[in-house]
Each structure stands twice: as C-alpha cells, then as structure tokens.
C-alpha cells in the first residue's frame, strides 16, 4: 500500500479501478477541461479514452429500451384487463348470454383467443408508440396524456374488431372484447396517473429534477426561464444564464443570474450539476456546433429554440417544453430502466430490513440511551445528488457536545486531504465504539433509503465542509444518489488516501450496473461481520 501522497494502492482489485490512477485523473478547477462524462454503456468499458460523440442510433436505441419497458407494462395491463373481463363474463355480472358464450370461447378455440389477444396488445403498443406515449411525461400534460391513452385503446380496439370481422371470429364473445378494451383503458389511465403523481411528488421534493443553463440573456432566454419556472411539474430547475458577448443585445437581466460567459460553459455545467443547456440566442453556426461538441464531451443534453437556428437540425423532431417548442441537438444516455430497478431494489430491501431488524433497532436504541445522556439518533446535514441537502440519520455514537469539541481533535486526524477520521476518537462513547465496529450505527439510514434521499449502494454522502474543499473533478461523486455502502467501503475502508476514495467512487459511477450493486451488498455483509469499522 502506498502512502497518502502516492499512487493508488495495490488493493484496487475492482476490474475498472486501474483506469483511475493519478495518471488519468482530470485537472483541477484551474484547468480549462474536466472529466468528460461517458455517454453510453459501451463507453463505460473504455475509461480514459477520447469520448465518442453520441450518434442518432445511440439516442434511438436508448429510447427504444425505455419504450420496451413501458410496452411490457402495457402488456401486463392488457393481460390483467382480459382476465378481469373473462371473470366478469363467467361470473354472470353480464346477463345477456344468448349470442356468444364465454365458456365456448375458452373451451373450443383457446389458440384463436390467444391470437386475438396478442393482436390487440400489438396494436395497442404500436398506437401508443405512434402517439408518443412512451416519451417522457414532461412533454405532455395530464389531460393530454389521458386523452391519448384512451385514443390508443380505441384505435387498438377498432383494429381488433376489424380482425374479428374479417376472420369471422364468431367464437369470441363480443362482451369480453368490449370489457377488455374498457378495462385496458381504465388500467392504463390509472397506471399513468400513478406514475405521474410519483414523479411530480419527487419533483416537489427536489429529487430527479433537471438543472438547466440558458445560453443567452435576451428576451427569448428570459421568456424561457419564466416559462420553465412557472410550470414546476416539468421537472426543470433554472440555475442561471450564460452570457453571449456580441449577441445579447436586447432585454435586461439581473447580473446575479448570469453565471459566466459561453467560454466557461463546461466548467459552469460541472459546478452547477447541469443536465441540459438551452440555446436561446441567435449566434453563428460554428459556435453552436462547438457548444454541441462540448456538451457531448460533458454528457450534458442540449436544445435550441427552432426558429433561431433554421436548417441546423432540420431532421430533428420538435419537442414542447410546456408550450415552448425546442429541438434536441444532443441527448445523452440515461439508464432509466436500470435506475427504476435500482429504486425498486432499494424500496423492497430497506422495507424488509426495517421490519426484520426492528427488534435489533429497538435494542440498540435502549442501549444508546442507557449508555450516555443525550438523544438516541443523530441527524447530520449531508450533501446528496446534485448538491441537494438532506438529513442523514444515524444512531448517536458520540457525546452530545461532539461538534463543539471537533476543533480540539483536529490535530488527531488520520486521513489526508478532505477526509476526517480518528480511530481512537475521545468523543466516542463506549456503546458508540461497538456500534461503529460493526456499522450498526448506520442502520437508521434505511429510512433515508426508503425516503429516496439515499440508496443502498453508492458513494457516501459528504458534509458541506468537505464539499467546499472539493476540486472540480471531485464533484463527480455528487452526480448520483449517495449510499449506505459502496465500493470504497468494501474495498479500501481503512485506506487514508483521499485519491483512492475518489477513484473508487468514480469507478463505481462510471461502471454502474445492478449486478455490481448486488455484489457490493454481498461483500458488505462480510465486512460488517468482520467488524472492520472504526
């Protein structure tokens, strides 16, 4: 193992960590370039190489994967609707049995019934795709979304009826057909309403919102800013303007809202965790192309107002942000399905763990209260994804006035640079030392996971004083939701090197997969049982 100032330690057995030694680290804030975000899964396996601009095929392949996920959800809704329709028919909730018997449909030609059900499902998916129902919900309001859903179900129903008529599908109950179409429409509308409500609630809490920069301080840029701020459910957070010398000639804007000039756009994007850049000022074609290239290297999406750049992206679709038409020039790769699966794993695992460990939590709470005076829990203000502040819960392991006595023990710090850790900290209580040894003090963070502030796996959430000392490339840690455990915890928990700390967190972010999370969770069990905490 190297010294704190040396190269990355030799224990980095994680397969991608070798690409993150100090020879490949990004220059500090004083350097005009920083770590380019990787834009696709293929590029994750070539860390350190020159990023390849995202092509249209890459963008569409990502959109197709998201569409497949939602199409699968629609298929489940159709199957449930069909089952409900048959149950209602067989349950004599419909009394007109004089024409076509449902039991006859089920017994005489089950393969024909299955064929018609598959045809209806396929027609529904194609109609939904055609009506852009698999696009992000921010591009449609609630009523429009519901209308399109009903329209897609009716279209698929008409195609099913046409197929029954042409094939003379006399064996299929017309009542079951009508009920299936109706129940499908109800289930899809309900599913989309629930999903929209979940997304809007997360936006209200500041979770998963997209930070934006507006290039251009003119009237168009200000109108765009007010439009976005006025429609909160769009999920955008305005961070500031970027000044275009020579082009911003109209309009007046508060100087506090101008973060810098167009030459600083990459640095501004990293400092403010920007997800998307809007070009609102008319400028020369070469400048726009340069901004697009820089946005690709930074992994930031970029849009333009279409009437300002006539012909620049004539084959790109127009997307409405509220009532504001925009053209996407570049859209990065976001593993939406993977993120949904990760969130589902967090909710399921944390819920089960809280229930199963409730006797342990109660016993620890009693022990903490009996061991020393003071509160049972300790809430610390931590910095989460995109610099969002949240309250991180832990069992109290120190004396109540530990924060006030922090200056007394600063000289005992055993970690380098930003990190702060003391093995034999005099402020730690007797019970706190036991809890830290087996990481039991962090069990209340399962509540943070359930709330969405944290994940089971991810970089540890830093405190504000640490973030203030970060260099530009260190902010990469804040691009994802922080976790209870992570690659650093299972790989190099005792290593004092801040470089190793950053390298492992960056390696985890750049090479994330659900399988990697599962492996880290499994290894965490061994680390906890071994009692390597301090």
pLDDT digits (tens, 9 = 90+) for 373-402: 888 888 888 988 888 889 999 998 888 877
Q: Do 34 and 266 form a contact (C-beta atoms < 8 A)?
A: yes
For the purposes of burial, counting CB atoms within 10 Å of the CB of 180, is it exposed (0-12), middle (13-18) or buried (19 or more)?
buried
Name 197's bridge partners: none
CA distances from 397 to 82, 364, 393, 456 (A): 56, 11, 12, 21
Residue with tokens 């006025």: 230
pLDDT, tens only, 72-96: 999 999 999 988 988 887 764 444 4
Average pLDDT for 31-52: 33
Over the chain, what is the mean pLDDT? Answer: 75
Query: Which tokens hold the place of 56?
Result: 């249209």
Give the residue, 106 or 45, on which the prediction is more confident: 106
Q: What pLDDT score does 379 carry?
A: 87
Say if residue 358's pLDDT is above 70. yes
pLDDT the model gives residue 7: 37
- Rounded Cα–Cα distance for residues 228 and 223 (Å): 9
CATH fold, domain 210-332, is Rossmann fold (3.40.50)
pLDDT in tens, 396-448: 888 887 777 777 776 666 666 666 667 677 788 888 888 888 888 899 999 99
Q: Is the pLDDT of residue 20 over 70?
A: no
Percent above pLDDT 90 for the chain: 18
Helix (H) or strand (E) holding 461: none
Please give the pLDDT value at position 262. Answer: 81
- Rounded to whole angstroms, how far apart are CA atoms 260 and 32? 14
Does the pLDDT at position 485 exceed 60? yes
Q: How many C-beta atoms surround the C-beta of residue 526 within 10 A?
A: 10
User: What is the C-alpha to C-alpha distance for residues 353 and 350, in angstroms, rounded to an integer?
Assistant: 5
Please give the span between the terminal C-alpha atoms of the chain, in angstroms, as a whole number: 19
3-state secondary structure 311-369: CCCCCCCCEEECCEEEEEEECCCCCHHHHHHHHHHHHHHHHHHHHHCHHHHHHHHHHHH
Q: Which pLDDT band holds residue 533 (cuts at 50, 70, 90)?
A: low
* DSSP code, position 256: G
Cα torsion at 489, 493, 497, 502 (round to 10°)? 0
Beta carbons within 8 Å of 485's beta carbon, 6+ residues apart: 456, 457, 520, 521, 524, 527
Looking at per-residue pLDDT, the higher value among 177 and 42 belongs to: 177
- Do 39 and 332 touch, CB atoms closer than 8 A? yes
Query: Which sign, positive or negative, has the C-alpha torsion 358, 363, 367, 370?
Result: positive
Report pLDDT digits (tens) over 501-526.
788 888 888 888 889 999 999 888 88
Pick 359 or 290 by higher pLDDT.
359
Q: Are 242 and 281 in contact (CB under 8 A)?
A: no
* Residue carrying structure tokens 């018609």: 116
Quick one: tokens of 412?
A: 């005992």
Query: Domain ranges in the chain?
Result: 56-203, 210-332, 337-530
DSSP reduced 3-state for 303 = strand
DSSP string, 100-131: --HHHHHHH-HHHHHHHHHHHHHHHHHHHHHT
């Amino acid at each position: 193992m190297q010294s704190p100032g040396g190269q990355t330690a030799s224990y980095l057995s994680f397969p991608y960590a070798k690409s993150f030694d100090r020879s490949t680290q990004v220059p500090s804030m004083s350097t005009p370039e920083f770590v380019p975000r990787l834009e696709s899964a293929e590029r994750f396996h070539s860390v350190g190489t020159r990023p390849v601009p995202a092509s249209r095929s890459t963008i569409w392949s990502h959109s197709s994967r998201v569409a497949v996920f939602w199409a699968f959800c629609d298929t489940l809704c159709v199957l449930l609707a069909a089952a409900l329709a048959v149950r209602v028919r067989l349950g004599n909730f419909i009394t007109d049995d004089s024409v076509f018997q449902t039991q006859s449909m089920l017994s005489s030609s089950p393969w024909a019934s299955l064929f018609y059900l598959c045809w209806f499902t396929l027609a529904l998916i194609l109609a939904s795709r055609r009506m852009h129902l698999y696009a992000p919900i921010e591009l449609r309001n609630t009523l429009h979304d519901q209308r399109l859903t009903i329209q897609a179900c009716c279209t698929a129903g008409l195609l099913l009826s046409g197929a029954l008529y042409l094939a003379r599908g006399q064996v299929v109950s017309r009542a079951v057909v009508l009920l299936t179409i109706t129940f499908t429409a109800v289930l899809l509308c309900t599913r989309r309403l629930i999903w929209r409500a979940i997304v809007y609630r997360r936006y209200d809490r500041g979770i998963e919102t997209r930070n934006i920069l507006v290039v251009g301080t003119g009237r168009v840029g200000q109108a765009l800013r007010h439009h976005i701020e006025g429609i909160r459910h769009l999920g955008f957070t305005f961070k500031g303007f970027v000044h275009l010398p020579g082009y911003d000639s109209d309009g007046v804007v508060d100087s506090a809202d101008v973060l810098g000039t167009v030459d600083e756009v990459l640095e501004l994007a990293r400092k403010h965790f920007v997800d998307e850049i809007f070009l609102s000022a008319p400028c020369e074609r070469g400048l726009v192309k340069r901004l697009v290239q820089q946005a690709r290297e930074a992994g930031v999406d970029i849009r333009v107002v279409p009437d300002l750049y006539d012909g620049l992206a004539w084959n790109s679709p127009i997307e409405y942000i509220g009532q504001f038409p925009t053209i996407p020039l570049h859209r990065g790769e976001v593993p939406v399905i993977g993120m949904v699966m990760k969130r589902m794993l967090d909710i399921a695992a944390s819920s089960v763990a809280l229930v199963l460990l409730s006797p342990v939590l109660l016993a620890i709470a009693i022990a903490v209260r009996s061991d020393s005076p003071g509160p049972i829990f300790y809430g610390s203000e931590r910095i989460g994804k995109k610099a969002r502040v949240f309250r991180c819960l832990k069992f109290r392991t120190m004396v109540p006035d530990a924060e006030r006595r922090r200056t007394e023990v600063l000289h005992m710090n055993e970690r380098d640079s930003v990190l702060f850790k003391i093995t034999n900290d005099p402020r730690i209580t007797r019970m706190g030392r036991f809890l830290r040894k087996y990481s039991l003090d962090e069990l209340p963070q399962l509540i943070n996971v359930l709330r969405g502030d944290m994940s089971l796996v991810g970089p540890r959430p830093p405190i504000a004083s640490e973030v203030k000392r970060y260099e530009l490339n260190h902010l990469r840690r804040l691009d994802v939701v922080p976790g209870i455990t992570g690659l650093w915890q299972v790989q190099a928990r005792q290593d004092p090197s801040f470089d190793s700390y950053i390298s492992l967190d960056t390696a985890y972010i750049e090479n994330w997969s659900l399988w990697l999370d599962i492996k880290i969770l499994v290894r965490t069990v061994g680390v906890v049982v071994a009692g390597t905490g301090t």
